[in-house]
């Protein structure tokens, strides 16, 4: 007698497995889509006034160098910045000053050759960075340099397992083209690890064998004898030093304290691979973070802020305002920023 074959249960079982497979595939696809949507781009350059630097001049007046973007992200023009007010708050009262009175003047910064800013531009050459990314970051830095008045000196540093000074401190008013050229891809650098902390530490502190004195300055960013210090860093990953890396700086808190105490402006540029918390820690409250999915998308995000650099303004607050030891606040419409620590310049070298 032939064994009977029960077709219906087999068909039901096959259909059940097919249904489970389809549902599983749909869930995996949905998860993949959700994962791709989980990245949120960041741009904290928008709606912010930046105090790029401060110093006290020979007459005891407070000098501030300021730029920024409006609530809508557009650059604050020199005309708009001249409508700012400055408030000095003591223990007993607050006094507001406007441009043109006997205490406050606000003027555009446009004198090529003035020695106002020290600028470090840093690019990650780790193994995950391809040629198109490096070209894109070169375009980003070129955009910054295109708008920035020629009142700065610059250094260009690239890094992978170790840091490499592409071009040392150079006056923009004398060597602008060389600075721009140095921001673009250097094919001689071997791409491997990510010595991010070592590179930022070296940039801030410089070569330990070069020490500043009362008549000379070191080569670290915070040793430069200018009122404004700014660092722009592109990185797409976590700190990942290799055995051949310097491994001098392993503590991010040590580095962020250096940035905070020196009142340096740090602009962190990153991709979706970068750790947002790390970018934010280095930027602090005075700097900013731009994090996009791809390097090619960073340029459009920084363009308006780059334009705002061309409208950089010089605020001069008279010693008569009694700012010393008190809180100084710049206000423009709904925006305001507090001057961290109105102090003298780091050194008294004749620039």
Cα separation, 228 vs 114, in Å, equals 12
Per-residue model confidence as pLDDT tens digits over 187-231: 999 999 999 999 999 999 998 766 655 555 788 999 998 999 999
Query: 68 and 144: one domain?
Result: yes
Query: 184 and 50: one domain?
Result: yes
Within-domain flag for 99: yes
Per-residue model confidence as pLDDT tens digits over 11-24: 444 544 445 455 45
Per-residue model confidence as pLDDT tens digits over 36-81: 457 899 999 999 999 999 989 889 999 999 999 999 999 999 999 9
pTM (2 d.p.): 0.86
> Span 106-111, mean pLDDT?
88
With 70 as the cut, is the pLDDT of residue 341 above it? no
Query: 47 and 11: one domain?
Result: no
* Number of separate domains in the chain: 2
Domain that holds residue 15: 1-38
Cα separation, 120 vs 235, in Å, equals 14
Per-residue model confidence as pLDDT tens digits over 137-179: 999 999 999 999 999 999 999 999 999 999 999 999 999 999 9
Could you tell me where the DSSP H helices lie in the chain?
A: 7-37, 78-81, 131-147, 172-182, 196-205, 252-262, 276-283, 298-309
Cα separation, 128 vs 79, in Å, equals 44
């Amino acid at each position: 007698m032939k064994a009977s074959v029960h077709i219906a249960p087999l068909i039901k079982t096959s259909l059940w497995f097919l249904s489970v497979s389809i549902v599983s595939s749909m869930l995996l696809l949905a998860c993949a889509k959700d994962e791709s949507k989980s990245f949120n781009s960041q741009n904290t350059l928008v709606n912010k006034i930046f105090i790029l630097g401060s110093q006290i001049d020979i007459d005891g007046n407070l000098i501030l160098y300021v730029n920024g973007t409006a609530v809508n992200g557009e650059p604050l023009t020199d005309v708009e910045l001249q409508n700012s007010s400055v408030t000095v708050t003591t223990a007993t009262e607050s006094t507001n000053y406007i441009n043109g009175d006997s205490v406050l003047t606000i003027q555009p910064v446009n004198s090529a050759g003035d020695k106002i800013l020290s600028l470090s531009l840093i690019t990650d050459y780790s193994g995950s960075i391809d040629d198109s990314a490096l070209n894109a970051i070169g375009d980003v830095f070129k955009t910054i340099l295109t708008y920035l008045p020629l009142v700065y000196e610059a250094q260009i540093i690239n890094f992978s397992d170790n840091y490499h000074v592409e071009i040392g401190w150079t006056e923009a008013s004398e060597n602008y083209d060389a600075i721009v050229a140095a921001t673009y891809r250097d094919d001689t650098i071997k791409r491997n690890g990510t010595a991010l902390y070592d590179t930022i530490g070296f940039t801030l502190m410089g070569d330990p064998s070069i020490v500043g004195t009362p008549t000379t300055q070191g080569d670290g960013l915070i040793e430069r004898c200018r009122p404004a210090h700014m660092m722009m860093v592109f990185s797409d990953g976590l700190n990942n030093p290799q055995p051949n890396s310097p491994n001098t700086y392993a503590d991010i808190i040590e580095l962020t304290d250096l940035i905070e105490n020196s009142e340096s402006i740090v602009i962190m540029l990153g991709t979706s691979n970068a750790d947002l918390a790390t970018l934010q820690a280095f930027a602090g409250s005075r700097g900013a973070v731009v994090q996009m999915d791809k390097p090619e998308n960073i340029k459009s995000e920084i363009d308006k802020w780059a334009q705002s650099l061309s409208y950089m303004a010089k605020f001069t607050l008279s010693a008569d305002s009694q700012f010393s030891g008190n809180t100084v606040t710049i206000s423009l419409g709904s925006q305001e920023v507090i001057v961290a620590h109105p102090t003298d310049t780091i050194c008294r070298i004749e620039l």
